[in-house]
Every structure is written in C-alpha cells, then in structure tokens.
Amino acid sequence: MHEIPINHILFLSTALFFIGVYGFLSRKNMITMLMAVELILNAVNINFVAFNKYLFPGKLDGLFFTIFIIAIAAAEAAVAIAIIINLYRSHKSIDVDEVNDMKY
Amino acid sequence: MFYLLGTFILLFGFLSVTTRHIFRAAIYLLFCLIGIAGLYFALAYEFLAAVQIVVYVGGIVVLVLFSIFLTHRSGEDLPVPSRIKEFIVFALAFIGFSLTYLILNRSGMGESEAPAVAPTVQNIGAQMLDTQSFGFLLPFEVVSILLLAAMIGAIVIAIKDKAIPSKSEKI
Amino acid sequence: MMPDTILIALIPIIPFLCFLLLGLTGKKLGAFSGLLGTASMAVSAGFAALTAYQYFFHVGKIDGVFQKMVVFNYHWLQFTPEISINMGMLLDPISVMMLVVVTFVSLMVHIYSLGYMKGEERFSVFYSFLSLFTFSMLGLVLSANLFQTYIFWELVGVSSFLLIGFYYTKPSAVSASKKAFIVTRFADLGFLIGILILGFNAKTLDFGLLIERLIHVESPYLQTAIASSFMGVSALTWGLLLIFVGGAGKSAMFPLHVWLPDAMEGPTPVSALIHAATMVVAGVFLVARLFPIFILSCPVALDVVAYVGIFSSLFAAIIACTQTDIKRVLAYSTMSQIGYMMFALGVSGYEGEAGLGYMGSMFHLFTHAMFKALLFLGAGSVIHYIHSNEMKDMGGLRKAMPITHITFLIACLAIAGIPPFAGFFSKEEILAAAFHKNPVIFYVGLITAAMTAFYMFRLYFSIFWNKPTPSAGHDHHHHGEGPFTMMLPLFILALCSISVGFIPFGQFVTADGQFLANEFHPMFSIAPVSLALGGIFLAMLFYKNANELPAKLAVSMSVLYASAYRKFYIDEVYLFVTKRLIFNLLGRPAAWFDRTIVDGLMNLIGGLTSGFAEMIRGLQSGKVQSYAIWFFAGVLGFAVLFIYLW
C-alpha cells in the first residue's frame, strides 16, 4: 500500500534522534546544544507523523502532537535563548563548561 | 524521493552537529529542517509541512541566528572538543541508536488498513477544536497560555538587570 | 515502734548536701568550708549517736533479739517481676554500729584536718571529698539491698580514688590512686558477678529476703542455688566467694592488698579515715552482712574467708616488721588487723556461744577503728612536724611532741592487745573463737598478735626514742607540735582507745541478734598478752636506743628480711603478671589486632569512601553537560539491563 516501509522512516527518525543526542552531548556551545535539541524534537515529530500515517490513519492525533511539540519547541527555544543571553551577560561566555557554578 | 530526502536530512543534521562554525551549524540546521518539511510533504501532510517551515525555519532558526549574532563575533570557530569525550559520546549515541533500531526491527509494526482521514486543514481544525469526540481543545488552550508564559518569561530573563550594576557594567 | 526515719535519713544526707555545697561553692567559702564541713559532720554524728541510742536501747530489741529494720524502702527500678533495685535503709546492729563508727571517726578526721590541711590550696575541695566519702560510706552501711550496697561501694571507691590522688601533682599519688582504683575495680567485678548470681538464684536483692531465702534447707531458692553448679562448685558458693572477692579487694586481703600501702600517698587524715577505720572494713562488713548465708548454707566459702584472713594477717605482719615508712607500717598493720576480723568471721558459728567470732570480729572492727584512726592521726602529727614519712628521719620526739607521744603509746598498747586497752578485749574474743574452732588459725593468730606488738613498738620506739631528743633550736622547731584542732581528736580517740573495750559488746552486736556475754578467761589471756609483752620487750631491746641489733638481725636473716622488705615481691609479681603476661601475651596481640584488623577495617572503609569520593568528585564538576552524558549512559545501561538481561 505504502511505497515506503514504516521501518525506514523510523530508521531515519532514530538516526536523526541520536545525531541530536550526539550533538547535545558533544557540543560545548549552548546555542549548538539548543540546535541539537531541535533536531531531537524533529526526530520525535517525524516519528509521530509516521505512526499517525501508518498505524492510525483514521485519526489525526499524531499530527496534533506534532503541532503541539512544535509550539512547545518554539516556546522552549525562546526561553532557552533568553537564558543563554542572560548567561552570556553574566559569564561572558555561553560555553557550558565555563558555567560550572553548581559544583560539589 | 523519500530516500533522497532522508539522506539530505541526515547529512545536514550530522553536519549541523559537527561543524566547527556555529554560523554554518545554524545554516545546516535550517537545511535539515527544510528537509524534514519536505518529508512531511512527501508523506502528504501539507499543513504540517507549512507549520514546520513557518515555525522552525521562519521562527526558531532566525531566533538562533539572532542569538548567535548577539553572543559571538562572526567568523569565530568553536573550540575543538576533547577526543576522548567525543569518542565516548559518539559511542554512547551509536549504542543507543543500535539498541533502539534492534528493538524496532524486532517488533513488527502492523500497518493499519483503516480508511484514512485526509489531513486537510479543514479536518485538522474540526478535530482539534472539537469538544465532542476528539477534544484537543484543552491542550490547545494550554499551549497558548504556555506560549504567552514563555514569551513573558523570556523577556523577563533576558531583560537587562539595572538593579545589579556590577553585572551590567561587566556587559 | 520504729526509729525516726527522717533522723536516720539525715545522717547520710547531711554530708551529701555538704559535699554539694562545698564542691560547688567551696572556692568562695575558703577556710570557712572546713568549719562548715566539720559542723555538718558533727550534726550527722550526733544523729548517728541518737539513732544508735534509740536502736539499742528502745526500739531495736524485740523479745531479746535485735531486729533487722527496714525503715525506708523506695522502689526504684524494676528489672523482672521479682527483682527490683530499691533504695532503702536497713537498721540492724552492725549497720548502727558502723553508723556510729563512720560518723565518729569522720568527725575526728574533719576536726583534725582543720589543722593538718590548713593552708592547702584545695582546702575546700578536700572537705567536699571527705563529705562525699562519708556520705557514700554511710549509704553503704545503711543499704537495704545488695545492689544499693554495690552503688555505694563504688561511690566509696571513687571518693577513695579522689582522696588518694588529692596531691595530684605528685606522680606517685596519681599512680597510687590509679592502682587503688584499678585493683578494687577488679575485685568489684567479682562482687558484681556475685551479686548477679545470688540475685538470680534468690530472685531478690533485698538483704532480708535474700538471707531468709538462702538459709533454710527446704527453701526452693536455696536448693536451685546449690543444685546448679559450675566447675564442680555450686552457684551459691560461687556467688558468695565472688562477693568475698569484692570484699577482699576493698579490705586489702591477700592477694588484692597491693593498693593499700600505696594508698598512703593520700593526705594522712584521709588514710586515717578511709584506709584504716572505715572503708577498708567494708569487706568485713559485707561478709558480716551476709554472714547467715555463709554460715548456714555454705561453710566452705566461710572457710575460704577464714584462711584468706589469717594468711593476710600473718603476711602483712611480717612485712610490717621491715617497712621504714611509718604510714606503710600502719597500712600493713591495718591489713593485718582486717585479716583478724576476717578470720574471726571465718571461725565463727551462728547461734549462741558459737557466734563469738562474729561478735569478736565486729568488736575488733569497732575498737580497731578507734585506735587505728588514732595511730594514723598521731603519725600525721609526726609527719606534720618532721615533714617526712621515713623512720630514719625521726627519733627522740617524745619531748618535742608530748601529747602525740602519749596518745600514740596508748594506741600502740591498744593494738598490741595489752589490757586494759581496747584492742585487748576484741582480740581476746577473736582468739578465743579461733581456739574453739580451728587450732591452726589460733596459733597463727597468736604469732601475728606477738608480731603486731613487735612492729608497733618498733614504730613507737623509732619515732619517739631511739635518738637523743633534738635540742631546742634544732631546725625542726620552727613550729610547735600542732594546733589545738589536731590535738583534740588525738585526745578524744585516745580516751576511746582506752575505754571502748569495756563496752559489753556482746549485748549489742551478735550474729543472731541475741545476747552474748563477753566472757573473759584470765587463764586464756595469759598466752596472747605475754606474747605481746614479749614482742614489746623485743622491740624495746632493738629500737629503744640506737644500736646495731636490728642491722645484725637483718643481716642474719637477710633473705627473709629482704623479701619482707620488698613486700614479698607481690608488687613485682603483679607487675610481671600485668606487664609481662597480660601486656605482652594479651595486650600486645589485642593492640595489634585492634590496630591492624579493627582499625584497619575502619580505615579501609573510610579510605574506600574517601578514595571513591575522590574518584567521583570529578563527576560533580558543575559541568551540566557531563551530567547529561552520565545520565544518558545510565539510561542506556538500564535499557540494556531491562531489555536483554532480564
């Protein structure tokens, strides 16, 4: 019925998810970490869409979740960037390793 | 078409998290997100693709670019992370990926043959704001409040604190 | 009709309040604290005398038998439904007698110390300790049950420790106080176990009930106590023997006597009070307290008491003949006399005529308290005058210290058993009791009596004769014999030493509480008295004038003399046992075990913790990203764990 098997789409989303994880854990710059988080969220979105399309075509719930996630991601990005900017003001840096005040 | 898009997404996603130039990372991210929007198109979710482009490409990436401009002098390379750490993280990510994928493969997804609902804007609007059978009205409202709160919060956090002169002077 | 409870309760409470007052505010009171302590002691002694009068002449005797009266019994701690620890006061002839002795001697010592300790920096502390001791001793004699006895027994030990170590800047005093405390602690361990054994078997700690339950053959408690045995000896015997061990420790019986001579490091009035007249007879008192059980249920234990007593008596007498420190001579004579009391108990029967030994023992306790306190106080005067304990520094003091001389002579005559002084009467009773029961003990006792006379007069002649009287203007004469406060107790005690022997003691204190006539057999008295006179004569020959005889004798009996002078190497044996055997064989391995195994284990735990903490400290770096990495790794780990391993 479908030209693309669901597993392939899931492979894509999984790969994207772990690319995001890799970026989140390896990057030291907070903005790039934020970008990695966006990648992770997008991977989840792809997952939702795929599940919606392949497993529950009679409903649109997966789509709604995706939309909500996008909305929340926007809010999250706004707050995160506000924090980053504030942090940059106080620490002159947005490197996470510089911001190690929560120590011991 | 799908495989092309998939390769495109993964490639730019990967570049986005590995490049040393933060500005380029943002651009790669932009391409990656556009690719995902294309994927939605391919899956016939046109509305979602539009939302993706408007919110992500038009909103978040632009926001990220602004913040990069605010916090970085242009042309500055990112510091090279330590090899060991990079290796560990890569290994972890790879292990996670293989684990997940193995489980995915093990569980066969029974594809549904139910009659599809076309994800048209009309359907989406009707179902999402329906209070009877589907009822995503409450999350919708909650999300709008969340967005408002995030907006106010972001402003409050990012506002210049005049009350603490030592900090403002440093800036 | 009961004696006045409040009156009796006040006897120990007054010294206790005095102790609190002096201990807390003594510094401010200064010299006045001595007067306060003495005054309160006088009140206490007055009450004790009043109590004794009431008890002996009005309320104590019912149908011709002196009763044990529990005038007060406060239920304190309940252990099991049967066993509880009470706080009570028991009046019977011996406790009343002890009340009188303790308060009286304590009063004398208080008065004496006013002069003797004058100018001491810790004058008020001294008085507060004296009060504490008096309180503990009174509590001990009034105790209505074994455990209360034990509590006060320990309190007495503590106050003794404090007073021996009073001159705490002197290392010898400190080590002596430690020695006294540790040795008696060892003995007290036995006492405690004994208490537990008896308490367990009799299901009570109360003296009255305990004795009642353990003396009747048909009593089930007694039968179980005899039936259960350990190492072939019945539980009852073990209990009594262990209690006797406690008593032997306090009373300086062989081989637990080593602390007593060293305890003479304390101030001399303290030696008079604690280590001569009162505390050291606590062991005798304890055996006397449980005497019915000893005699009626367990004669074996009583035999042990008798033999230990007679051996200590002889042993101490021999050592006393060679010592040159006058206080040590007195200490060994104390040990010898307590040995007398012990074996007197050991040879005693229970009822009627047979109870002569018990009566004699208590009588001797009473008279001994008087003349031994007198001897110590006299020695204190001499030491006060000479500033030395050594005999060789003394001599010819009879003109310089006439009052001390006379009173000391009276005390020596009393302890030597010369009629009509107090010691004669009590010693006669004891020897008569021994003669009827056990000839061996009798003859040894006789020899000891002769030796007692010898060494006491050796002391007497060495101090007051021997050398020519120091001429006036000699460097000793910077002060007189002593203030009035020091002479008064000597005078009073000398009077007592003469007179107390005439008290018809058998009317008051006997084993079964019934009347026992003090009989005197002039024929029987000939042997001990003539032996004592012989001892005195010998001492006179040797020591009245400085001559070569003692040295010659010492040379001719060099081995005996040397070993006696070294106190038969008992201290060395102790040192050997404690240092060589216990330290090396037990202590060293234990210390090694403690250091390497126990400490090692603890250090290992500590080291592991700190090492591990050091290791993971880096994790807590404040670097959020590394937290995220670990978190992610953990999640993966759990995922693998749950998916594949389960």
Please indicate whether residue C137 or residue B124 has the higher confidence score (pLDDT): C137
Total Cβ atoms within 10 A of residue C586: 11
In angstroms, what separates the C-alpha of A91 from chain C's closest C-alpha? 14
pLDDT at C516: 67
Q: β-strands C61-62, C65-66: how paired?
A: antiparallel
pLDDT at C554: 65
Asked if pLDDT for residue C472 goes beyond 50, the answer is no
The pLDDT tens digits for C607-621 are: 888 888 777 776 666
pLDDT at A99: 66
pLDDT at A44: 92
Query: What is the average per-residue pLDDT within C576-594?
Result: 69
Contact B96 C629 (CB under 8 A): no
pLDDT at C575: 64
pLDDT at C362: 85
Eight-class DSSP state of A97:
T
The pLDDT tens digits for B138-151 are: 888 888 888 888 88
Q: Is B20 on the interface with A (CB under 8 A)?
A: no
Contact A20 B13 (CB under 8 A): yes
Query: What is the average per-residue pLDDT within C371-383?
Result: 85
Asked if pLDDT for residue A67 goes beyond 70, the answer is yes
Percent over 70 (pLDDT), chain B: 82
Asked if pLDDT for residue C481 goes beyond 80, the answer is no
Tokens of C23: 């201990």
Q: A with B: how many residue pairs have Cβ under 8 Å apart? A: 233
Asked if pLDDT for residue C468 goes beyond 70, the answer is no
d(CA C349, CA C565): 37
Query: Tokens 């693309």 label which residue?
Result: A4
Residues 6+ apart with CB under 8 A from C521: C432
Query: What is the average per-residue pLDDT within B7-32?
Result: 87
d(CA A63, CA A68): 9
| End-to-end Cα spacing for chain B | 50
pLDDT at C162: 86
Domain ranges (residues) in chain B: 2-104+119-170
d(CA C330, CA C369): 13
Q: Is residue A1 part of a domain?
A: no
Q: Is A91 on the interface with C (CB under 8 A)?
A: no
In angstroms, what separates the C-alpha of A84 from chain B's closest C-alpha? 8
d(CA C347, CA C343): 6
Contacts A23 to B, Cβ<8 Å: 16-18
Radius of gyration, CA atoms only, chain A: 17
pLDDT at B166: 47
- Does the domain formed by B2-104+119-170 have CATH 3.40.50.2300? no
The pLDDT tens digits for C136-182 are: 888 888 888 888 888 888 888 888 888 888 888 888 888 888 888 88
d(CA B24, CA C206): 97
Contact B64 A22 (CB under 8 A): no
**Cα–Cα distances in angstroms (integers) from residue B130 to residues B46, B124, B125, B144, B167, in the given order:** 21, 10, 8, 17, 50
d(CA C113, CA B86): 88
Question: pLDDT confidence of C470, banded at 50, 70, 90?
Answer: low
Eight-class DSSP state of A34:
H
How many domains in chain A? 1
Asked if pLDDT for residue C319 goes beyond 50, the answer is yes
Beta bridge partners of B21: B77
Contact C632 B96 (CB under 8 A): yes
Contacts A56 to B, Cβ<8 Å: 112, 114
Q: Are C194 and C240 in contact (CB under 8 A)?
A: yes
d(CA C262, CA C175): 9
Q: What is the DSSP string of C210-254?
A: HHHHHH-TT-HHHHHHHHSEETTEEHHHHHHHHHHHHHHHHTT-T
Question: pLDDT confidence of C569, banded at 50, 70, 90?
Answer: low
d(CA C608, CA C397): 74
Tokens of B123: 């359907």
Q: Are B169 and B162 in contact (CB under 8 A)?
A: no
In angstroms, what separates the C-alpha of C635 from chain A's closest C-alpha? 13
Q: Which of residues 605-644 of C touch B (CB under 8 A)?
A: 629, 632-633, 636, 639-640, 643
Contacts B96 to C, Cβ<8 Å: 632, 636, 639
The chain-wide mean pLDDT, for chain C, equals: 79
The CATH number given to whatever domain includes residue A92 is 1.10.287.3510
d(CA C374, CA C407): 7
Contacts A28 to C, Cβ<8 Å: 625
The complex scores an ipTM of: 0.85
Contacts A97 to C, Cβ<8 Å: 623, 625
d(CA C393, CA C325): 10
Asked if pLDDT for residue C562 goes beyond 80, the answer is no
Q: Is residue A88 part of a domain?
A: yes
Percent over 90 (pLDDT), chain C: 0
pLDDT at A1: 47
**Cα–Cα distances in angstroms (integers) from residue B19 to residues A12, A23, B15, B79, C573, in the given order:** 21, 10, 6, 11, 88
Contact A100 C623 (CB under 8 A): yes
The pLDDT tens digits for B87-111 are: 888 888 888 888 888 888 777 667 7
Asked if pLDDT for residue C336 goes beyond 70, the answer is yes
Percent over 70 (pLDDT), chain C: 85
**CB burial readout C126-135, b (16+ within 10 A) else e:** bbbbbbbbbb
Backbone angles phi, psi at C69, to 5 degrees: -120, 120
Contact A54 B101 (CB under 8 A): no
Question: pLDDT confidence of C298, banded at 50, 70, 90?
Answer: confident
Domain residues for the domain of A45 are 6-101
The pLDDT tens digits for A7-37 are: 888 888 899 999 998 888 888 788 888 888 8
Closest to C459 in 3D by CA, of C543, C557, C562, C532: C543
Q: Is A33 on the interface with C (CB under 8 A)?
A: yes
In angstroms, what separates the C-alpha of C602 from chain A's closest C-alpha? 25
pLDDT at C622: 65
Query: Tokens 């020959």 label which residue?
Result: C541
